[in-house]
Structure 1
Amino acid sequence: MNEHVVRLEGAGRSFGASTALTGVDLTIRAGERVAVLGASGAGKSTLLALLNGSLQPSEGSVELFGAATAGLPARTRRGLQRRVGTVSQGLDLIEQVRVLHNVNAGRLAEWGTPRALASLVWPHPDERALGALEAVGLGWAVHERTERLSGGERQRVAIARLLIQRPDLVLADEPVASLDPTRAAEVLGLLGRATDSRGTLVVTLHQPQLARDHCTRAIGLREGRLVFDTPIADLASHLLDELYARA
């Protein structure tokens, strides 16, 4: 049995009087490709924030790589988070700098502060950085200013940053929401490449067919609750009808 990468037991998260997630039991094992489906506001982004340790649960527990995230010393938590690569909806790129700077941001944890600061002044396009950009079709853009790229190209920069980081767990929040089907399939394929043979991908999606094409498992969130957790082959229409039915 593969080791578990993430385990949630009765996990929930509230923001004041508003409950985003409640009572979620979930185990994700190494090597899985998990699609998180649900309407806007279902709690998908909150779930990913719990998975990468940037949010702590208001109830229940969250384990990341076998360690409970609540109450960890900051240094220990950062060590766990270095093993997680995240593509947020906003991409978290610095638009005013060169593409190479944004890609090398995936290495800041391994470089340490002095070398990271030096890289801002003397960017070094080594084989690893160039290989990551070539893999996403942006080998030509090493020294381009990020703000000059198209939206799709900036998305590829964010994925190149993941490739150079070599994370054990990749979390992607709505990475294909505004893309046409062809480009969406390309991006999901690249995200799959961001993990090695034992790496794990968790991606929030609105398109069930993309989940079927690129994932091995699907979970459904509705109003902050887990309503199904199924192998992708068993993602039946009645599950989706229930998931997206109007309250």
Structure 2
Amino acid sequence: MSPGAPVVRLRGAGRTFGATAALQDTDLTVHAGERVALLGASGAGKSTLLSLLNGSLRATSGTVEVLGQEMTGLASGRLRALQRRIGTVQQGLDLIEQVRVVHNVNAGRLGHWSTPRALSTFLWPRESSEAQRALDRVGLDWALFERTERLSGGERQRVAIARLLVQRPELVLADEPVSSLDPTRAAEILRLLHEPEEARALVVSLHQPELARRHCTRAVGLRAGRVVFDVAADQIDESLLTELYELT
């Protein structure tokens, strides 16, 4: 998408689980090129919001539009096609622990391959040079043929980022992608999530306001499923954080 074009539009979006409202009456617009940090305590609604944007959850109220398509009621085939344009890094990482790293990285391209080609790559890895380049960028140049289960938590996190890099999505959704990383590596990963595509939009949940200030253009604060602020990232101050994390 061209820089500045709307990538995400939520209007009154909400999601309930039984009697529990995980997200309520949410309005949010994200444009191409923006880097939006979601801040808030655990259970504030950050993961639910990201799940609405990648189509793994459907809104129970309001509308959710992503990359120009309304998500509610989208047929399964069209949803899968849309999800190929969205890169997601979940808290659980969704890696296959028992296979070699190259297979997990190549999973970022599976949606672009035919079924026979996708199946054959588990016998002989395809495009391993692209996987190697992605691993080089996340500091795992040695790990291409390592078994994923042998890696540390932080190293697995970087494998998930490498998988996203080979996917080349238009929208990146990342749920606490740097929680296991040191500050230097965390800063590098946040840069990689947005580059090299200038038009790529990033929505990332973070627990560290300082990372949001340094690496994002906007910050959206969520509390009890509601947006309590939406400001330029450099405007995050103690009064906003006190409002966000104050116990009720």
Q: TM-score scaled by structure 2?
A: 0.95
Kindly provide the amino acid, as one letter, of the partner of residue 237 in structure 1. Answer: E
How much has 1:125 moved relative to structure 2? 4.5
Kindly provide the amino acid, as one letter, of the partner of residue 70 in structure 2. Answer: A
Please give the residue correspondences for 1:3-82 in structure 2 after superposition, counting only pairs within 5 Å: 3-82=5-84
Query: Which residue is equivalent to 1:211?
Result: 212
Unaligned runs of 5+ in 2: none
Distance in 2 between residues matched to 1:183 and 1:137, nearest whole Å:
9
Distance in 2 between residues matched to 1:121 and 1:188, nearest whole Å:
33
Distance in 1 between residues matched to 2:242 and 2:181, nearest whole Å:
24
How much has 1:177 moved relative to structure 2? 2.3
Report if the CA contact (8 A) 1:20-1:223 is conserved: yes
Query: Which residue is equivalent to 1:124?
Result: 126
Query: Which residue is equivalent to 2:233?
Result: 232
Structure 1 counterpart SS, 2:204:
strand
Kindly provide the amino acid, as one letter, of the partner of residue 35 in structure 1. Answer: A
Query: Which residue is equivalent to 2:194?
Result: 192
Kindly provide the amino acid, as one letter, of the partner of residue 117 in structure 1. Answer: L
Query: Which residue is equivalent to 1:173?
Result: 175
Report if the CA contact (8 A) 2:89-2:177 is conserved: yes
Distance in 1 between residues matched to 2:118 and 2:199, nearest whole Å:
28
How much has 1:184 moved relative to structure 2? 2.3
Unaligned runs of 5+ in 1: none
Residue deviations 1:130-188 (CA, integer Å, cap 9, x gap): 21111112221111101111111111110110000000111110112233333322332
Kindly provide the amino acid, as one letter, of the partner of residue 74 in structure 1. Answer: S
Report if the CA contact (8 A) 1:100-1:125 is conserved: no
Structure 1 counterpart SS, 2:241:
helix
Distance in 2 between residues matched to 1:12 and 1:144, nearest whole Å:
42
Distance in 1 between residues matched to 2:218 and 2:181, nearest whole Å:
22
Count the aligned residue pairs: 246
How much has 1:76 moved relative to structure 2? 0.9
State the identity %: 65
Distance in 2 between residues matched to 1:119 and 1:145, nearest whole Å:
16
User: Cα RMSD over matched residues?
Assistant: 1.3
Report if the CA contact (8 A) 2:153-2:180 is conserved: no
Query: Which residue is equivalent to 1:91?
Result: 93
How much has 1:215 moved relative to structure 2? 0.3
Structure 1 counterpart SS, 2:240:
helix
Kindly provide the amino acid, as one letter, of the partner of residue 58 in structure 2. Answer: Q
